[in-house]
């Protein structure tokens, strides 16, 4: 049997077709039975007159419950009375593939946490599906761009013998007779690819952070998009790549899903102008103070309210939703970020803000072995466990830099969602390991 999708029905008027999907609603009346069917492409009405006494088919429809999985065979008929596309299916056969229990544990207006408990039911809604269609398009556009520019795709290990970055907490796991850690980032390995002469690399993969963060934009496992580029002159080259790449991604999403995103989430996808605004961290703080906002003191990163305010100011002044904030002090950056030759307390690093939230952290990396050792010592890093990493720079390493990018944060902002959990297939947090 060939399955016809509900979206294809308009081309099949007069034909007998088989549609397979879920029962959205049953309206069982005295003389007429209506069955609203949903598949991944939309909704369709199926209809059957009720016989006296009711036929077996009538009884089967009466017994249906919402969200049951069914296969319906019938003839497609154009009928102006039908508000759902002016089409309906005159039912000739029905198979109940799986009867749903009558009371569903969640409804459209259920709280997010409860919806995640029953995520597979929540995801049956077509607007949730759109989120993952957009994700697919965005990733495809990223790869398209990378391939065009001769990047190599990496799949780095997620088990590690030691920490790859300071700051974020590590998950410890049993690993035979010793302990291992889940990777917080592919940072060291993408740098290894630079030492291996790969030139330009990317990875889209999971990272793990054992931070007990209870906010709308953190999770303990998320999909990180990582890029690393060799033979750069400074972090400026990395930013210049990232903005072109992102503009391409947003243009693709807008072209394919822009209208639907606007209709579904009331969010406009704006393709950004190049170049993105750039401001140094200290310059940003000055801007904030000029506009009457409090800003953290020297040596400190922007706090979230400052980031939101900064995005707002730049939006007003330059009409741009993105902003690169550059030149973070060494105090808030890891040891491997390259320092400015003339200002050794500042790193050649950047963050990318979009509509007030951090999408990216990037930098030029220190590729000179002796300098890297000195910086590790300066930051109090315990070097023996990461000697394998330091060794990457002993036998000829190119100048390089790159960035890490939160895929879910991109989606959240793109779709006007207020929580990364909405755009994560299955959220993982401090108290969430199921489903």
Query: Which of positions 375-434 make contact with RNA (CB under 7 A)?
Result: 404-406, 408-409, 418-421, 429, 431-432
Bridge partners, 95 (sequence order): 71
Is the CB of 257 or the CB of 337 nearer to RNA? Answer: 337
Residue 83 in the binding site for RNA (CB under 7 A): yes
CA pair distance 378, 376, nearest whole angstrom: 5
Residue 28 in the binding site for RNA (CB under 7 A): yes
**Rounded least distance, CB 396 to RNA, Å:** 27
Q: Secondary structure of 76-140 in the HEC alphabet?
A: EEECCCCCCCCEEEEEEEEEEEECCCCCCCCCCCCCHHHHHHCHHHHCCCHHHHHHHHHHHHHHH
Give just the sign of the alpha carbon dihedral 349, 355, 358, 362: negative
Q: Which listed range, 144-152, 277-285, 299-307, 321-329, lies at the site for RNA (CB under 7 A)?
A: 299-307
Residue 30 in the binding site for RNA (CB under 7 A): yes
Angle between helix axes 407-414 and 235-265 (nearest 10 degrees) is: 40
Q: Considering only residues 93, 161, 197, 212, which one is a binding residue for RNA as defined by CB under 7 A?
A: 212
Using CB under 7 A as the binding rule, the residues of this chain from 87 to 106 that contact RNA are 88, 102-106
Q: Which listed range, 217-225, 257-265, 283-291, 336-344, lies at the site for RNA (CB under 7 A)?
A: 217-225
Using CB under 7 A as the binding rule, the residues of this chain from 318 to 357 that contact RNA are 332, 351
CA pair distance 9, 5, nearest whole angstrom: 7
287: CB partners within 8 A, 6+ apart: 279, 310, 313
Q: Considering only residues 58, 145, 163, 219, which one is a binding residue for RNA as defined by CB under 7 A?
A: 219
Residue 358 phi, psi dihedral angles, 5° rounding: -75, 120
**Rounded least distance, CB 370 to RNA, Å:** 25
Q: Considering only residues 27, 129, 147, 377, which one is a binding residue for RNA as defined by CB under 7 A?
A: 27
Q: Considering only residues 109, 174, 266, 342, which one is a binding residue for RNA as defined by CB under 7 A?
A: 109
Residue 297 in the binding site for RNA (CB under 7 A): no
Angle between helix axes 235-265 and 126-148 (nearest 10 degrees) is: 150
Residue 162 in the binding site for RNA (CB under 7 A): no
Using CB under 7 A as the binding rule, the residues of this chain from 116 to 135 that contact RNA are none
Total residues at the site for RNA (CB under 7 A)? 74
**Rounded least distance, CB 430 to RNA, Å:** 7
Is the CB of 186 or the CB of 258 nearer to RNA? Answer: 186
**Rounded least distance, CB 78 to RNA, Å:** 10
Q: Copy the structure tokens of residue 190.
A: 């993408």
Q: Considering only residues 218, 254, 285, 367, which one is a binding residue for RNA as defined by CB under 7 A?
A: 218
CA pair distance 113, 122, nearest whole angstrom: 11
Bridge partners, 403 (sequence order): 227, 362
Q: Which listed range, 124-132, 212-220, 243-251, 266-274, lies at the site for RNA (CB under 7 A)?
A: 212-220
Q: Copy the structure tokens of residue 433.
A: 């390991």
DSSP type of residue 332: G
Residue 111 in the binding site for RNA (CB under 7 A): yes
Q: Which listed range, 215-223, 312-320, 365-373, 380-388, lies at the site for RNA (CB under 7 A)?
A: 215-223
Residue 176 in the binding site for RNA (CB under 7 A): no
The number of beta carbons lying within 10 Å of the beta carbon of residue 134 is 24
Is the CB of 72 or the CB of 256 nearer to RNA? Answer: 72
CA pair distance 207, 219, nearest whole angstrom: 10
Instruction: Give the chain's length.
Output: 435
């Amino acid at each position: 049997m060939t399955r016809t999708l509900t979206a294809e029905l308009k081309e099949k008027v007069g034909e007998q077709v088989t549609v397979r999907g879920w029962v959205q609603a049953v309206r069982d009346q005295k003389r007429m039975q209506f069955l609203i069917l949903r598949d991944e492409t939309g909704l369709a009405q199926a209809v059957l007159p009720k016989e006296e006494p009711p036929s077996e088919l009538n009884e089967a429809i009466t017994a249906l419950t919402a969200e049951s999985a069914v296969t319906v065979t019938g003839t497609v008929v154009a009928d102006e009375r039908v508000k759902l596309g002016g089409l309906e299916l005159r039912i000739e056969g029905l198979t109940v593939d799986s009867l749903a229990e009558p009371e569903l544990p969640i409804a459209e207006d259920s709280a997010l946490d409860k919806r995640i408990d029953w995520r597979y039911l929540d995801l049956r809604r077509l607007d949730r599906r759109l989120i993952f269609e957009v994700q697919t398009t965005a990733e495809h556009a990223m790869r398209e761009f990378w391939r065009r520019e001769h990047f190599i795709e990496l799949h780095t290990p997620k088990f590690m013998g030691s920490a790859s970055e300071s700051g974020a907490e590590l998950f410890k796991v049993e690993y035979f007779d010793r302990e291992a850690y889940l990777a917080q980032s592919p940072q060291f390995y993408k740098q290894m690819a630079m030492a291996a002469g790969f030139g330009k690399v990317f990875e889209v993969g999971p990272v793990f952070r054992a931070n007990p963060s209870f906010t709308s934009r953190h999770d303990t496992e998320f999909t990180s998009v990582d890029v690393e580029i060799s033979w750069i002159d400074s972090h400026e080259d990395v930013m210049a790549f990232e903005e072109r790449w992102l503009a391409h991604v947003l243009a693709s999403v807008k072209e394919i899903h822009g209208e639907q995103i606007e209709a579904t989430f009331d969010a406009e996808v704006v393709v950004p102008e190049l170049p993105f605004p750039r401001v140094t961290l200290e310059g940003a703080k000055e801007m904030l103070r000029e506009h009457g906002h409090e800003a953290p003191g020297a040596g400190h990163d922007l706090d979230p309210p400052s980031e939101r305010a900064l995005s707002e100011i730049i939006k007003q002044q330059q009409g741009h939703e993105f902003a690169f904030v550059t030149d973070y002090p060494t105090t808030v950056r890891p040891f491997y970020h390259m320092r400015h030759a003339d200002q050794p307390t500042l790193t050649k690093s950047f963050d990318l803000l979009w509509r007030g939230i951090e999408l990216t952290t990037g930098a030029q990396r220190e590729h000179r072995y002796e300098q890297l050792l000195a910086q590790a010592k300066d930051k109090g890093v315990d070097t023996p466990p990461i000697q394998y990493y330091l060794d990457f720079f002993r036998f000829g390493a190119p100048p390089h830099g790159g960035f890490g990018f939160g895929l879910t944060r991109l989606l959240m902002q793109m779709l006007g969602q207020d929580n990364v959990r909405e755009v994560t297939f299955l959220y993982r947090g401090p108290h969430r390991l199921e489903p």
